[in-house]
Structure 1
Amino acid sequence: MSQTLLKHGRHLVGEELVPCDVLIEDDKIKAIGAALNAAEDATVIDLNNNLITPGLIDIHVHLREPGYTNKETIATGSRAAAHGGFTTIAAMANLKPTCDTPERFKKQVERNKKDGAIKIIQYSPVTKDRAGKEPVDVAAQYAAGARLFSDDGAGIQDAGVVYRAMQQLAAHDLVMCDHAQDNQLANGGVINDGPVAQKLGLPGMPKISETAQIARNIVIAQATGAHYHVCHVSTKESIELVRHAKQLGINVTCEVTPHHLLLADADIPGDDAEFKMNPPLRSRQDQEACLAGLLDGTIDCIATDHAPHTDAEKHQGFLASPNGIVGSETAFALLYTRYVKNGIFTLGQLINWLTENVKKVFKLDNVGLLKVGDPADIAVFDIDHQDTVKADQFFSKGHNTPFIGDQVYGMTDKTFVDGKLVYDREEEK
């Protein structure tokens, strides 16, 4: 038996921060309270009055290995997540080769376990080779351990393929996480279709390219009884569709990214691909709808869509650069600084959107919620001191984000997974 005692922290009770110690025994939380005692040989860690939360859960990241290790690896991506306070992440299947057979899936899970600094849930693709032509053998993937399915990075264009996939997924009570995009309606756009696209002379991606695909897939989910989850929802109309579907009792959930909450296309300063992602930054009205959707429960959770690329790739402008920004290391601090400190939503709401709500939507096992008996998955944040987002402090190989230089509160101080200290800011000093 080994014990670790976290002393002099604060945690949230209701919406009040109260003094808190946490006693960890082996890999579980043994006790939570004030002035706890531990065995004589326990490791004691002083948290210096910092905030203790459950370890954050990110249901949407890209680790790039195998196939794209110049951008990221399992090791660097999982360490980046730990640096952001995440103790569990779900890795998308846009890999080369993708894990579309039981053998490949099991091999990927083993690779994640061997190289990962934290807990990694592996997605299976929905279709073979993520080509959108033929569903994978869901029963076989399920038997191999797959519980989440997504072709993220590509919308499935063929409605018949979606229908057959959802039939299989519904039979096993599994979720389909969807990058909703009709390619014909997207029309090669690289930025939101609107005044900013016109000003910059760039091809715009209309909002309907997302919304039409969501509408189609909601109807298919209703017909099949499948759980349909919309990745990175970005438009007012899409959120309205999800809201209506929920009112009808259809099993639909959705996520929003930090960048769609924090930015709109009006914030794009020029032809700077650090602001290029898919779906693109939308209008200010869409940004406000994302916030409203979170607050009224239409949007279930926040997910980063952490998408690392090399500096060279992202310095080619909107037309030539790949989509995506990194987000694992900055999500909590950026959202805490913009929205919690300004009283727009509460600390409790932010924590829930990054922990309990994710666990509930995706029925996740073996992740902790800072309760006695839970796995000791714990994040510690410094919400009292201001820091600057600096690329040279990232653990990710990718530095592609428009938030470099931002002043923030809430940077991670420590992260524990199953009671093991996997990130400690003290080691950087």
Structure 2
Amino acid sequence: MSKILIRGAKVLGGEVQDVLIDGETVAAVGTGLSAEGAQVIEADGQILLPGLVDLHTHLREPGREDSETVLTGTRAAARGGYTSVFAMANTFPVADTAGVVEQVWRLGREHGYCDVQPIGAVTVGLEGKQLAELGAMHDSAAGVTVFSDDGKCVDDAVIMRRALEYVKAFGGVVAQHAQEPRLTEGAQMNEGVVSAELGLGGWPAVAEESIIARDVLLAEHVGSRVHICHLSTAGSVEIVRWAKSRGIDVTAEVTPHHLLLTDELVRSYNPVYKVNPPLRTEADVMALREALADGTIDIVATDHAPHPHEDKDCEWAAAAMGMVGLETALSVVQHTMVDSGLMNWADVADRMSVKPARIGGAEDHGRPVSAGEPANLTLVDPAYRGPVNPAGFASRSRNTPYEGRELPGRVTHTFLRGRATVVDGKLA
């Protein structure tokens, strides 16, 4: 593999430095670097980050290749600056056996746009009744360490306790979709003033908060790790903050769309804004931003949820829940967190690379940009401004809530173990 010299990049948004990639690793970081025969990339002060890691991606394969595949999803990930993604288990068949998780893992390796780490289901068929083959999935070639029934809540406290006890044996983590199902029957959007005015079934904040409260107490009792998926309310933030103050081993994620969008957008009845958990209030959005900035919320995760056109281009009640997010996540974070002054680029690297890699056990990712480390890197032009155009997405689906919205930042280059997967904003 040839040498690549990235000249004049702001590493983590700090000092301007040169970075030399030799093969799969970073060979040197400094000023005035040169290398005979190296391909030179003039960064011109762009931001160099460790490759992004998404702990919450839906790749849909196997079973829903009409909306996404491992190939198209990882291409979208690379375009968004990601070098590793964790693929959720709600496929068809469900990723609840060693065979299915190995299939997804091998597809990721074959396509090569980013590393794919499958997430195993907690329960058989996501039905919440019987633990899936957690040990077998962990012992498989895929080496699964994160388990989730995302899309459904593990609402049975006994099952959740057993799962926490089981994964403790090998240092795994249960990622919970916090939604009390009896409190959200028929729910279409956030329960509040807007839902009352529109006459749509409400999804109350307490449905999320009550499950989080229960699960952090279970994790404390068992002495195990629990991760909260797509946290969305101010009350949930306070529960996680309280749990951390007690030393409970809990981590939490927030999605880009919950950092920016509110339930006021549902007034349009445009199903592109239909998502689970739903868009919340402005007060919730501000609480989430502050919690991400102060570290109460550990990471940003996309919850990339692709759907074919026919599943979204319909009346609100019949529409599927979810939004694509891999190709716009970094831009939304720059807009809401960096340009607002709440975080700097080193914080972005921490929340979108270092910590998600640590939580998921992606050892080759989220590493420092320094000599001897794997060359999983992302180069970002923060000065770019432009409207989101889903027609240019690498994802197979187009259900973005940002179409036409001007957002900052553009990933110009992504490197996976020293090989460029994106060059000048285009797939290599």
For this structure pair, what is the TM-score category when the shorter chain's length is used for normalisation?
Answer: over 0.9
Q: Which of 12, 16, 20 does residue 17 from structure 2 map onto?
A: 20
Given that 2:79 and 2:426 are in contact with CA atoms closer than 8 Å, whether structure 1 keeps it comes out as no
**2:298 maps to what in 1?**
300
Q: Which residue of 2 aligns with 1:193?
A: 191
Aligned pair partner of 1:178 in 147, 159, 176? 176
How far off its partner does 1:309 sit? 0.7
Which aligned pairs between 1:330-345 and structure 2 lie closer than 5 A? 330-345=328-343
Task: Tell me, yes or no, if structure 1 residue 33 matches structure 2 residue 30.
Answer: yes
**Could you tell which deviates more after superposition, 143-152 or 338-347?**
338-347
Q: CA RMSD in A?
A: 1.7
Could you say which residue in structure 1 is the equivalent of 2:167? Answer: 169
The whole-number CA distance in structure 2 between the counterparts of 1:354 and 1:66 is 27
Secondary structure of 2:276's counterpart equals coil
Q: Secondary structure at the match of 1:17?
A: coil
Name the SS for the 1:22 alignment partner: strand
Conserved in 2, the CA contact under 8 Å of 1:30 and 1:372? yes
Q: Distance in 2 between matches of 1:316 and 1:227?
A: 40
Deviation at 1:50, TM superposition (A): 2.0
Is the contact made by 2:421 and 2:427 (CA closer than 8 Å) also made in structure 1?
Answer: no
Which residue does 1:156 correspond to in 2? 154
In the alignment, the residues of structure 2 paired with residue 95 and residue 116 of structure 1 have an alpha-carbon distance, to the nearest angstrom, of 21
Deviation at 1:116, TM superposition (A): 4.4
Query: Is the contact between residue 384 and residue 410 of structure 1 (CA under 8 Å) also seen in structure 2?
Result: yes
**Tell me, what secondary structure is at the counterpart of 2:5?**
strand
User: In the alignment, does 2:414 pair up with 1:418?
Assistant: no
**CA offset at residue 99 of structure 1?**
2.2
Alignment partner, residue 399 of structure 1: 398
Deviations 1:294-313 (A, max 9, x none): 12221111101010111221
Counterpart for residue 116 of structure 2: 120
C-alpha distance after superposition, 1:176-233 (max 9, x if no partner): 0110111101122010011111222211111111111111211211121110000000
Letter in 1 for 2:87: A
The answer to whether the 8 Å contact 1:200/1:270 transfers is: no
Check whether the contact 1:260–1:282 (CA below 8 A) recurs between aligned residues: yes
Query: 1:369–1:377: 8 Å Cα contact kept in structure 2?
Result: no
Residues 248-296 of structure 1: per-residue CA shift (max 9 Å, x gap): 1111110001111111112334211111110001111111111121122
Runs of 4+ in 1 over 4 A off after TM superposition: 426-429
Q: Return the TM-score normalized by structure 1.
A: 0.95
- What residue in structure 1 maps to residue 5 of structure 2? 5
- How many matched pairs? 425
Match of 1:109 in 2: 105
- Return the alpha-carbon distance in structure 1 between the equivalents of residues 329 and 416 of structure 2: 19
Q: 1:55 touches 1:369 (CA, 8 Å); kept in 2? A: no
AA aligned to 1:102 is: A
The alpha carbon displacement at 1:158 in A equals 1.5
**Corresponding position of 1:382:** 381
Amino acid at match of 2:347: Q
Tell me, in whole angstroms, the C-alpha distance in 2 between the residues paired with 1:377 and 1:106.
Answer: 23
Return the TM-score normalized by structure 2: 0.95
2:244 to 226, 243, 246: 246
The residue matched to 1:160 in structure 2 has which SS?
helix
Following the alignment from structure 1 to structure 2, what is the Cα–Cα distance between the partners of residues 97 and 115?
21
* Alignment partner of 2:235 out of 234, 237, 249: 237
Q: Is the 8 A contact 1:51 1:382 kept in 2?
A: yes
CA contact under 8 A between 2:194 and 2:267: conserved in structure 1? no
Residue of structure 2 equivalent to 1:60: 56
CA contact (8 A) 2:410 2:425 kept: no
Alpha-carbon distance in 2 for matches of 1:236, 1:337:
20
User: Structure 1's 284 and 143: CA in aligned 2 closer, same or farther, altered over 3 A?
Assistant: same
Amino acid at match of 1:308: P
C-alpha distance in structure 1 between counterparts of 2:397 and 2:378, whole Å: 23
Where does the alignment leave 5 or more consecutive residues of structure 1 unmatched?
none
- 2:133 is the counterpart of 1:137: yes
Structure 2 contact 9–16 (Cα < 8 Å) conserved: yes
Select the residue among 328, 344, 347 that pairs with 2:345.
347
Query: What corresponds to 1:224 in structure 2?
Result: 222
CA distance in 2, matches of 1:82, 1:309: 19
* Pair 1:83 & 2:83 matched: no
The one-letter code of the counterpart of 1:60 is H
